[in-house]
Amino acid sequence: MVNVLALSCSVGLFFYAWGVANTVFEQPFIAGYFVKALSGIAIFVVAIRVWGDLLTSRLGPVQWGEVAARLSLLGAAIWVWIDYTATGTNASQHVPENGLACTSGILLLAMPIWLALAWQARQCLPTRLRFTGAASGAVAVGFAIPLFSLGCAENAPSYIVLWFGLAIAIAIAIGALCTPRLIRW
């Protein structure tokens, strides 16, 4: 129930604060959206698997290999997309205010989901608190990226890698640093 409430809060916050971009049905936006959304979904799928295993203390060497393989496939897909679409520079990628707005927006959308996952992890009594926190941050940001991508019209590969990557790194770091204090039993 708490997870549904957190997801609803994030979706409502997105529509209230940003809304769907005006260019949502134009060809460049659709292609860029799918790349951004699929990368977020891939992070979500990998992280939710790790997070579930951490809650039950089942994550061993075989599962870490599977996680590494999935993440390397995601990295390969991103590099192929960058090579395919790199046609120059986008002027807005050099404006830090735009990128920081995207990064903070993604983190803001991820916050309710992260809090719900931390609350749920506390009920399960995990043994690896930092890993559980990092996985909960990755799950939250993996859900927030496809949602935020609906309102972000930026499709330059370097912009996405830099600013969305920064949001991913910050969410995982916040999860790893703050979750152990919330779920300590």
2 part of a folded domain: no
Q: Can you give the pLDDT at residue 177? A: 93
65 part of a folded domain: yes
- Domain limits for position 114: 24-84+93-183
Q: Can you give the pLDDT at residue 140? A: 92
172 part of a folded domain: yes
6 part of a folded domain: no
Q: How far apart are CA 87 and CA 97, in angstroms?
A: 23
13 part of a folded domain: no
Coil vs helix vs strand at 94? helix
**How many Å separate Cα 55 from the centre of its chain?**
20
Domain count along the chain:
1
The answer to whether 146 touches 106, Cβ cutoff 8 Å, is no
Q: Can you give the pLDDT at residue 27? A: 64
Which two tokens mark 42?
A: 């891939």
pTM value > 0.85:
no
Type of residue at 106? I
pLDDT in tens, 77-92: 666 566 555 555 444 4
Coil vs helix vs strand at 25? coil
User: What stretches in the chain show pLDDT beneath 70?
Assistant: 1-4, 7, 16, 18, 21-29, 31, 57-95, 185
pLDDT in tens, 95-128: 677 888 889 999 999 999 999 988 888 888 788 8
The answer to whether 150 touches 30, Cβ cutoff 8 Å, is no
